[in-house]
Amino acid sequence: MAHDQNISLPKLIAGIAAFVLVGFPLVGYLWETLNQLMAGDVRPGRLAVSLPLLLLLAVLLFMLARTVRGWEAERLDDQRSRTGP
C-alpha cells in the first residue's frame, strides 16, 4: 500500500473536512429524527427518508475508516523506510 508520494497535511485536512461536511448534516437529521421518535412524534415520511440516510452514513463511516487506515499504513511504511530494516 506504499505510494510514491507521501500524504501532506493540507491533503489530510481537506480529506477530513470533506467527510465532516458531508457527515455533519446526516448526523443532524438522524439525531433530530431520533429525538422526535423518542418524543412520540412518529412521521412515516421522515422515517422513510431517515432509513436511506442511515445507510448512507454507515457507508460514509466505512469509507472514512478505510481512508484513515490507508493514511496510517502510509505513515507506518514511511516510518519503516526511514529507520531501515
- pLDDT tens, position by position, 55-85: 999 999 999 899 888 888 887 887 788 886 6
Nearest Cα residue to 63 out of 81, 32, 44, 55: 55
- Give the count of domains, the chain: 1
Asked if residue 24 is part of any domain, the answer here is: yes
User: How many Cα neighbours within 13 Å face the side chain of 4?
Assistant: 0
The whole domain housing 60 covers 9-75
Asked if residue 82 is part of any domain, the answer here is: no
* Spatial separation of the C-alpha atoms in residues 75 and 6, rounded to whole Å: 8
Asked if residue 2 is part of any domain, the answer here is: no
pTM of the predicted structure, to 2 decimals: 0.74
Asked if residue 80 is part of any domain, the answer here is: no
Asked if pLDDT for residue 1 goes beyond 60, the answer is no
Asked if residue 3 is part of any domain, the answer here is: no
